[in-house]
Chain A
Amino acid sequence: DIQMTQSPSSVSASVGDRVTITCRASQGISSWLAWYQQKPGKAPKLLIYAASSLQSGVPSRFSGSGSGTDFTLTISSLQPEDFATYYCQQANSFPALTFGGGTKVEIK
């Protein structure tokens, strides 16, 4: 089974900061990776798919990069509405899908 490890588990940041979250796969997954945002009590929202493709309607301050085993989600200038938990998800082993443990972005 492919394991997905996110770091850090939480990060404190201020509005306007650049925030980077990392996701590492236990084996190579090519570009079969997505990023989701989840706010408390709400469903996850797809932000990035295929490692670097921006989902329609998602602000351009969100970007994704990486391939193989190491991936990054970057928020170029953190906005108040971006405080949430972020999850990566691999699809290389489809139909089995695996999520990372999550990274909580908190207000500094």
Chain B
Amino acid sequence: EVQLVESGGGLVQPGGSLRLSCAASGFTFSSYWMSWVRQAPGKGLEWVANIKQDGSEKYYVDSVKGRFTISRDNAKNSLYLQMNSLRAEDTAVYYCARGRLFPMDWGQGTLVTVSS
């Protein structure tokens, strides 16, 4: 059974940093593109970033470029999102998801709240 478990969310002040993790199991992690998708409270889904199987390609939505970094450790079956210079508008549930074009499996999400 595919499992994706996010962690690392919490309350952070504007300008602060947070590192999200996603632990993967039940599939060959190194064979899949992975993504982060977020959902602000009461709002729709927004793709944030994705990363190729070997980590050689990384892409970001414009609003997080230069502030967020996606990475992965295939030996640990883990996906990460380093978030710096956080803003109030980054407040959301962050999901990790498996798949290239149409993410087929999603974690339960971790809530990031940016507030003073």
Contact = CB atoms under 8 A, between A and B. Distances in A.
Contacts, number: 54
Q: For chain A, what secondary structure do more than half of its interface residues adopt (helix, strand, loop), or is it mixed?
A: loop
B107 A95 contact: no
A50 B45 contact: no
Interface string B33-45: 0010100000011
Which of B47, B61, B101, B109 counts the most A-chain CB atoms under 10 A from its CB?
Answer: B101
B2 to A, nearest CB: 12
- In the complex, which range does the number of interface residues on chain B fall in? 20 to 34
A62 to B, nearest CB: 15
Nearest to A38: B45
A36 to B, nearest CB: 8
Contact of B102 (A34, A38, A42): A34
Contact of B108 (A34, A43, A87): A43
Interface of A: 32, 34, 36, 38, 42-46, 49-50, 55, 87, 89, 91, 94-102
